[in-house]
């Protein structure tokens, strides 16, 4: 499923955000499968097949993720793995395919307490190939936008509670 890196485009994106909750609450929410599914833009389904509500290091799952890149709006069948989850850092990988396109992403996430709030840093490397690669110029802003919207939605859950 990994894109052929010879004919692929790779981008790196870092998003930093301060959330209105303590680091423990943020850390728990980031591992909560239902919260992730509800707040991740374009996530139509997320299943880890575990008997708990949260992910741990070593968990593998599947997701269906829809994104719009230019006039193309593929729905990716995605394999997701929690590679590392050791407070305050975690690493997640994802690989997906859809309609002549594929992607592979590695995302590192860290949390840090900041005056009763939490600073979150998310750094991802994404490689895409196929039809969506034709819109490579839009890829970096798209990945940034998805991450920003995820953290906005997550923060809204904290402020609404």
**Number of folded domains that form the chain:** 1
Tell me how far apart the alpha carbons of residues 45 and 37 are, in angstroms, rounded to a whole number: 7
Nearest of 31, 34, 54, 29 to residue 45 by alpha carbon: 34
Containing 30, the helix (H) or strand (E) segment is helix 23-31
Containing 63, the helix (H) or strand (E) segment is strand 60-66
Tell me how far apart the alpha carbons of residues 59 and 133 are, in angstroms, rounded to a whole number: 29
Q: Write out pLDDT tens, residues 37-82.
A: 999 999 999 999 999 999 999 999 999 998 877 677 778 999 999 9
Cα separations (Å) of 47 from 11, 28, 61, 62, 160? 27, 17, 5, 5, 26
DSSP for 38-58, written as a single string: HHSTTEEEEE---SSSB--TT
Structural domain boundaries enclosing 36: 5-160
**What's 34's domain CATH number?**
3.30.530.20
Nearest of 101, 127, 106, 95 to residue 5 by alpha carbon: 127
Cα separations (Å) of 157 from 21, 25, 26, 36? 10, 11, 10, 11
> Rounded to an integer, what is the distance from CA 2 to the centroid of its chain?
17
Cα separations (Å) of 14 from 27, 121, 147, 150? 18, 7, 9, 13
Q: Encode the chain (161 residues) as per-residue pLDDT tens digits.
A: 555 556 788 989 999 999 999 999 999 999 999 999 999 999 999 999 999 999 999 999 999 998 877 677 778 999 999 999 999 999 999 999 998 889 999 999 999 999 999 999 999 999 988 887 777 777 788 889 999 999 999 999 999 87
């Amino acid at each position: 499923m990994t894109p052929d890196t010879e004919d692929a485009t790779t981008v790196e994106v870092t998003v930093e955000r301060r959330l209105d909750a303590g680091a423990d609450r943020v850390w728990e929410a980031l591992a909560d499968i239902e919260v992730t599914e509800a707040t991740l833009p374009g996530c139509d389904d997320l299943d880890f097949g575990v008997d708990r509500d949260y992910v741990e290091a070593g968990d593998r799952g599947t997701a269906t993720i829809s994104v719009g890149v230019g006039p193309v709006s593929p729905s990716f069948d995605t394999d997701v793995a929690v590679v590392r989850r050791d407070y305050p850092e975690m690493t997640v990988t994802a690989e997906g395919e859809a309609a002549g396109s594929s992607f592979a992403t590695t995302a590192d996430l860290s949390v840090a307490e900041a005056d009763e709030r939490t600073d979150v840093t998310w750094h991802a490397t994404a490689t895409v190939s196929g039809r969506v690669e034709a819109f490579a110029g839009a890829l970096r802003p798209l990945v940034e936008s998805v991450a920003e919207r995820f953290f906005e939605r997550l923060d809204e859950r904290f402020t609404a509670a």
